[in-house]
Amino acid sequence: MATIKELAAYTGLSPSTVSIVLGGKAEERGIPQATCQRVLEAARVLGYRPNLSARRLRDPQASGGLVIAVFWAQDFRAPMMVRFLRGLRRAVAEQGEGYELLIHPYTCGRLREERSLVSLSAFNAAIICNASAEDLEWLEQARLMMPVVLYNRESPSYCGVTVDDEEIGALAAQQFAAHRCRRAAVLSADSVFYGMQLRNDSFVKTCRQLGIAVGPVIQRENSMAGGCGAVSALLENSQARPDCVFCASDALALGALRGLHQQGISLPEALKIISVGNGDREAQQYAWPSLSVVSVPMEEMAQECFRLLLRLIAGEIRPPFGRRMEVRYLPGESCPPVE
C-alpha cells in the first residue's frame, strides 16, 4: 500500500503538498492544476489508498467515538437481524450518537477464528449474537480483554442478555390448556442453540402437568420451507391428530400455515398454533390467520446489550452480569383469546 511519503518521492513534491491535493484543498491553497494532475496521476499509478486510522488520529472528531462490533452468525434468519439492529439503533440514538456499529458476520461454531476479537485494535467492544455451544466454550477459555456482551446466551465469565426460555414454553402450554386442547405437537428446528431445547422441554412438561398429551415432536430446517414440509408429518397419525402445535419460530409457523391451507385444514377450529415470536411482527399480524406468538423482545434485548456494554466499558459493572428480559404472549387468530 502506497503512502503519502511515497507519492511525494514519486512526484518530487513534499508530503504536505501531496496531502493538500488529496484532501481536496488544492484550490484554496492556490496549488496549480498541473501539480494536482501530477499528484492524482501518481496516486492512481501507485494505487494509493488513504490510511483511515492515520486520518482519524489527526481528527479529534473522528477519533473519539466508540467502535462496536456486532458479531452476527450468517446462518441465522434475516428478520431476526433486522429486529436486533432496530433495537441497537434505538439504543445508540438514546445515547446521542458518537458510536460506530460494525457488522461482523461469522460462521456459527467458528468464532475462535475471528482474530479481531483478540487483537484489541479492530474495535472497542463487541456484542456477540447467536453463539453456538462451541463458540461459548472457546469464549470461556479465551477470557477476552475486550468488553463483550452476549446476546441471548448465558456465561459464567461474560455479560449477557437473555429471556426466560422456560417461560416461553410454559406460556404456550397454558394457552392451549385454556382452550381445552387435548393433544399437542411440537414443530422445532435443527438447532445449535440450547435455549430452544429449554423452550420445548418446558412446553412438553407444562402440557403434561395440565393434562395435554404430547404427540409428535418434529424437527425441521428453520425456514418456511421446513415448516410447510412438516405438515404432513404432523398430521400423519390420523388416530391421534394434534389439536394444537407449538412452533419454535415464526418462519416454521408461517410455512406450516401454508401447508395447512394446502391440506384444507381450517385454523383455529381444527388446529391451534402458537409460535415463538422471533420474526417480523407485521408478518405475524398479517398472516392468514394471524399468528399467536410468545414474543421474544429482541429490540429491547438489543437495546439492553448496548446499555450493558457501555456500563461495562465505564467500569460500572463487571462480568458476569446478566439481564433477563420478560416475554409476552400476543394472541392472534391462530389461537384466539379465550373469552
Partner DNA sequence: CTGAAAGCGCTTACAG
Answer for which of 20, 111, 146, 235 binds DNA (CB under 7 A) is 20
> What contacts 208, CB < 8 A, 6 or more positions away?
214
What angle is formed at CA 158 by the lines to CA 155 and CA 161, rounded to 5 degrees? Answer: 75
136 in Cβ contact with 232 (< 8 Å): no
Q: How far apart are CA 333 and CA 114, in angstroms?
A: 44
DSSP 152: S
Answer for which of 12, 30, 96, 315 binds its own copies (CB under 8 A) is 315
Q: Is there binding between residue 118 and DNA (CB under 7 A)?
A: no
Query: What backbone torsions phi and psi does residue 205 show, to the nearest 5 degrees?
Result: -60, -45
Query: What backbone torsions phi and psi does residue 77 show, to the nearest 5 degrees?
Result: -65, 140
How far, in Å, are 83, 169, 281, 290, 299 from residue 296 at the CA level? 10, 12, 11, 17, 9
Q: How far apart are CA 301 and CA 221, in angstroms?
A: 25
Q: Is there binding between residue 63 and DNA (CB under 7 A)?
A: yes
Output 30 or 64, the one with its CB closest to its own copies. 64
Output 37 or 63, the one with its CB closest to its own copies. 63
Q: Is there binding between residue 124 and its own copies (CB under 8 A)?
A: yes
Give which of DNA, its own copies, none residue 254 binds (C-beta under 5 to 8 Å, depending on kind).
Answer: its own copies
Annotate each residue in 228-267 with x if it binds its own copies (CB under 8 A) or - if it does not, as one string: x----------------------x--xx-xx--x------
Shortest separation between residue 49's beta carbon and its own copies, angstroms: 7
Q: How far apart are CA 288 and CA 331, in angstroms?
A: 14
Q: Is there binding between residue 145 and its own copies (CB under 8 A)?
A: yes
Which run of H or of E encompasses 218? strand 213-220
Shortest separation between residue 336's beta carbon and its own copies, angstroms: 15
302 in Cβ contact with 88 (< 8 Å): yes
Give which of its own copies, DNA, none residue 232 binds (C-beta under 5 to 8 Å, depending on kind).
Answer: none
Which residues of this protein are in contact with DNA, per CB under 7 A?
A: 1, 3-5, 12-17, 19-20, 22-23, 25, 29-32, 35, 48, 50-51, 54-55, 57-58, 60, 63, 120-121
Binding site for its own copies (CB under 8 A): 1, 23-24, 43-44, 47, 49-59, 61-64, 66-67, 74, 78-79, 81-82, 85-86, 89, 100-103, 105, 115-116, 119-124, 145, 223-225, 227-228, 251, 254-255, 257-258, 261, 280, 282-283, 285-288, 313-315
